[in-house]
Amino acid sequence: MPRTVFYVSDSTGITARTLGQSLLAQFEGLDLEHVTVPFVADAAAVRELVARIDHTGRQQGVQPLVFSTLVDSELRRLLATSSGCLLDILGVFRASLEQVLGVAATDQVGGARPRASDASYQQRIDAVHFALDNDDGARLSQYGMADVILVGVSRCGKTPTCLYLALQFGLFAANYPLTEEDLGSLKLPRALEPFHAKLFGLTIEPERLTAIRQARRPGSKYASARQCSLEVTEAEALFRQQRLPSVDTTELSIEEISVRIIERLGDRRGGAGLSHGR
Amino acid sequence: MPRTVFYVSDSTGITARTLGQSLLAQFEGLDLEHVTVPFVADAAAVRELVARIDHTGRQQGVQPLVFSTLVDSELRRLLATSSGCLLDILGVFRASLEQVLGVAATDQVGGARPRASDASYQQRIDAVHFALDNDDGARLSQYGMADVILVGVSRCGKTPTCLYLALQFGLFAANYPLTEEDLGSLKLPRALEPFHAKLFGLTIEPERLTAIRQARRPGSKYASARQCSLEVTEAEALFRQQRLPSVDTTELSIEEISVRIIERLGDRRGGAGLSHGR
């Protein structure tokens, strides 16, 4: 019988779940079932949840875990009446923060929630549309508006990374696919020449690229080990020759690739790093 | 002089920052500067960081805040030697979890980190490409593979939501734009008829839609208040007539829209909700 883990939030529950799973990853051999309970907004919803937690615990014969990012004190107090093991993520740091900051915490829900009407939120949406419009070198004329232009061979991770940079950080990210015509000369494609400072190379191990391309176009020249190896070798030579910063995406998630790009952008812009988002 | 908040992580720092900002949103009138320090991997990096925190605190004359999701016990111990106020997000719950679970925590870094080689990670990437291939009704033939098909008028939020569902949850999300030809009859477009159970309507207040479209094509009929109002009224009538679940995106972020869609999908699939991601 698994043990149930509840992730409880007055918003989406994504933070509660991410954090809870990071914590639980430190314990081996657990049999867990994960349940996210988002948008818990009032006492009635918490009471219903408490009944559900208690029922689950009785059925399973083990104490459920309850990760919560509820903000409201009254709702947190109510949730604490369940028989689950409550890990009150916001509550636990409130007292220390109140002491250091010398200010009392409010119960304002959703203060850090992205608001559809915020400028920074609108920028993320605009950035998504920019990434789509500028995917695969579609509109070279808009490169001037880009914060960063990712350069690499087909299927090395450019598109998902551009979209993540847009959705998470509101960065205007374009990408340029290196094709056979661009490779071999060690020169930048002409469309990229004016934008050297915005270029960022993505590379990947040829074996991994072959596997990805085979899944897409099995048996094609495009997906052959020889072609993949050739393209990667020449792309990497181009990055070295042109002194482009680059990152190997083989073992990295898009989150990690994105944060490494932002770090390097920060270096080139004078060390701002992730300080300002954009 | 602002007070600096450091977000420290052995991974991207995104969780530390999201959580820290949720916490700090409960305090009003603060003058803060935010610095994310990702990929802190060894003792040398922590020592350098400790020196930076101490220097910042002396310069500002106030104690910096340090939100950390470091996993390794030795690195956490080192970080605690800084003069900053340490909010050790993983550390604080380790003891309670060890007690409840009856297992000692390991120092395994990145256990919950998305791995580029994981099937679930590859599914997120595949889902991004699926969302791109099926944006704006581009390939009606692939609707059979979709987990969900978002339906709505142009610029009501379909595309960014599809991409978020793909990137965050690995869901295969397609979308179908309702145009004038589709509206007025209260009938589903023929391409959508076989997929009733996958359809989800997005709607938006006409005033907000007008503003979004005006920014894109100022002065056009497409962006006129009259046109926007007409399209939204008819799209909402279609959703009612066809009993499609729908959500008003006007005041919601893509995170919130996405989680509401997943909740409703769960209802239709028998209450699984967010339990299983996909």
pLDDT for res B271: 46
What pLDDT score does B5 carry? 97
Residues 6+ apart with CB under 8 A from B95: none
- Confidence (pLDDT) at A84: 96
Nearest residue to B93 via CA among A132, A86, A178, A55: A86
- Spans of chain B, pLDDT less than 50: 271-278
Distance from CA of B116 to the nearest CA of A (A): 5
Does this chain's domain B3-101 share its CATH topology with B119-268? yes
Biggest CA-to-CA distance, chain A:
69
Kindly list the residues from chain B whose CB atom is less than 8 angstroms away from the CB atom of residue A138: none
Nearest CA-CA distance, residue B105 and chain A, Å: 5
- The residue of A255, A257, A262, A263 whose CB has the most chain B CBs within 10 angstroms, and thus the best one to mutate to test that interface, is A255
CA distance A78 to chain B (A): 19
Give the burial string for A128-148 (b: 16+ CB within 10 Å, else e).
Answer: bebbbebbebeebeebeebbb
This prediction has a pTM of 0.83
The interface pTM score, or ipTM, of the predicted complex is 0.81
Are residues A85 and B100, on separate chains, in Cβ contact within 8 Å? yes
DSSP state of A171: -
Mean pLDDT in consecutive groups of 10 residues from the start of chain A, 278 residues: 94 88 87 94 96 96 95 93 94 89 79 62 90 80 91 94 93 93 91 94 96 93 96 97 95 92 75 41
Determine, for residues B132 and A135 on separate chains, whether the beta-carbon distance falls below 8 Å: yes
pLDDT at B269: 57
Q: Are B65 and A100 within 8 A, CB to CB? A: yes
Residue range A3-101 in CATH 3.40.50: yes
pLDDT of A116 reads 62
Tell me how close the Cα of B25 comes to any Cα of chain A, in angstroms: 5
Tell me whether residues B259 and A39 touch, CB distance under 8 A.
yes
Q: Which residues of A touch B101 (CB under 8 A)?
A: 27, 30
Chain A contact probe: residue of B117, B162, B209, B274 with most A CBs at under 10 A: B274
Contact across the interface for A23 and B250, Cβ inside 8 Å: no
* Domain covering A119-268: architecture: 3-Layer(aba) Sandwich (3.40)
| pLDDT at position A229 | 97
Residue of A66, A70, A93 to mutate when probing chain B, most B C-beta within 10 A: A93
| Cα distances (angstroms) measured from residue A67 to each of A20, A61, A78, A160, B11 | 6, 19, 14, 30, 21
Give the best residue of A217, A253, A276, A278 to mutate against chain B (max B CB count within 10 A).
Answer: A253
The residues spanned by each domain of chain A are 3-101, 119-268
CB neighbour list of residue B20: distance below 8 Å, 6 or more residues apart = B5, B7, B65, B67, B87
- Model pLDDT for residues B11-53, shown as the tens digit of each residue: 889 889 988 988 898 898 899 999 999 999 999 999 999 999 9
Q: What is the 3-state secondary structure (H, E, C) of chain B?
A: CCEEEEEECCCCCHHHHHHHHHHHCCCCCCCEEEEEECCCCCHHHHHHHHHHHHHHHHHHCCCCEEEECCCCHHHHHHHCCCCCEEEECCHHHHHHHHHHHCCCCCCCCCCCCCCCCCHHHHHHHHHHHHHHHCHHHCCHHHHHHCCEEEEEECCCCHHHHHHHHHHHHCCCEEEEEECCCCCCCCCCCHHHHHHHHHEEEEECCHHHHHHHHHHHCCCCCCCCHHHHHHHHHHHHHHHHHCCCCEEECCCCCHHHHHHHHHHHHHHHCCCCCCCCCC
Chain A CB contacts of B116 below 8 Å: 249-253
Residue among A80, A90, A64, A117 nearest A9 (CA)? A90
Contact (CB<8Å) A255/B90: no
Token pair recorded at residue A147? 């914060």
| Residue A120 tokens, joined | 């920074």
B18 with A15: Cβ contact below 8 A = yes
d(Cα A79, Cα A69) in Å, to the nearest integer? 11
Nearest Cβ partner for B96 among A69, A87, A100: A87
Give the residue on A whose Cα is nearest the Cα of B11: A256
Contact A116 B14 (CB under 8 A): no
Nearest CA in chain A to B120: A253
Q: How many residues does chain B have?
A: 278
Which of B35, B124, B253 is the closest to A275 by Cβ? Answer: B35
Alpha carbon distance A219, A217 (integer Å): 6
